[in-house]
């Protein structure tokens, strides 16, 4: 299996490039974000994902190892083939994808060619529990039961966070943008911050 190619860019097309490695030209399919970093006649080093099928061998190249990791994650989702995964990575980078999944925001995904709302929802649902670097959300320790009563099922800080995010979305902010701002402010203020306090801090940060 080919895991990496290092050579000179021989040609660039809309969705692929030819990398000349010691006189051998390798056709590599790649997301637009990777292709935009290449230039004909210039050296290139790409992380490669090799797909071997009965009727073909395809190489998929990425400027960063994290892009390749996301390509692998995306293609585990039912209905997401290599072409759709490349389209998603052309529309959104690894950081944007991580934030979209954590915030369950379909907007960055539906910008990709071939991805509709239903497929975007499936991607968010299936990858939510598979991501390796979830953002930490501070939450207070669960309250002990009083007089035998059951403690609240939902941690208070999570409920406050969700309320603040919903408020920002209702004000017109993108869900990913709202999630990022609220999560950052909750980490700074602590898990006991009230909705109003968290919302004011988030709006102040978004206004900068």
pLDDT of residue 121: 95
> Do both 77 and 123 map to the same domain?
yes
CATH of the domain at 165: 1.10.8
Query: 39-94 pLDDT, tens per residue?
Result: 999 999 999 999 998 888 999 999 999 999 999 999 999 999 999 999 999 999 98
pLDDT of residue 149: 47
Indicate the number of domains in the chain: 3
CATH of the domain at 24: 2.40.50.140
Q: Domain residues for 72?
A: 66-127
Tokens at residue 131, please?
Answer: 């991501």
pLDDT at 118 over 80: yes
Lowest mean pLDDT among 11-25, 102-116, 147-161, 194-208: 147-161
Query: What is the number of helices (H) and of strands (E) in the chain?
Result: 9, 5
Tokens at residue 166, please?
Answer: 């919903």
- How large a percentage of the chain has pLDDT more than 90? 51
CATH of the domain at 82: 1.10.150.20
> Do both 162 and 190 map to the same domain?
yes
Q: Where does the chain have alpha helices with state H?
A: 32-35, 65-74, 82-91, 94-103, 107-110, 117-127, 156-170, 175-189, 195-207
Beta bridge partners of 198: none
pLDDT of residue 83: 96
* Distant-in-sequence, close-in-space partners of 195: CB < 8 Å, separation ≥ 6: 160, 163, 164, 167
Lowest mean pLDDT among 67-71, 124-128, 145-149: 145-149
Mean pLDDT score, 132-161: 51
Query: 175-189 pLDDT, tens per residue?
Result: 888 888 888 888 888
pLDDT of residue 154: 44
Tokens at residue 71, please?
Answer: 């390509």
Is residue 145 assigned to a domain?
no
Q: Are 155 and 122 in contact (CB under 8 A)?
A: no
Of 127, 143, 168, which residue constitutes the final position of a domain?
127
């Amino acid at each position: 299996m080919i895991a990496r190619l290092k050579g000179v860019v021989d040609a660039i097309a809309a969705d692929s490039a030819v990398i000349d490695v010691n006189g051998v030209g390798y056709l590599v399919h790649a997301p637009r974000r990777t292709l935009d970093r290449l230039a004909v006649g210039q050296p290139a080093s790409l992380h490669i994902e090799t797909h071997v099928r009965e009727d073909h061998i395809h190489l998929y190249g990425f400027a960063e190892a994290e892009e390749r990791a996301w390509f692998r994650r995306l293609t585990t989702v039912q209905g997401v083939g290599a072409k759709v995964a490349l389209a998603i990575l052309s529309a959104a980078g690894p950081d944007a994808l991580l934030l979209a999944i954590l915030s369950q925001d379909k907007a960055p995904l539906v910008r990709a060619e071939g991805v509709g709302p239903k497929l975007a929802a499936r991607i968010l649902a299936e990858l939510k529990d598979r991501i390796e670097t979830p953002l930490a959300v501070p939450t207070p320790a669960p309250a002990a039961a009083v007089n035998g009563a059951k403690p609240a099922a939902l941690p208070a800080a999570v409920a406050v966070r969700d309320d603040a995010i919903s408020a920002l979305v209702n004000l017109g902010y993108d869900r990913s943008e709202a999630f990022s701002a609220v999560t950052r402010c909750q980490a700074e203020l602590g898990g006991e911050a009230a909705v109003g306090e968290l919302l004011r801090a988030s709006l102040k940060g978004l206004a900068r």
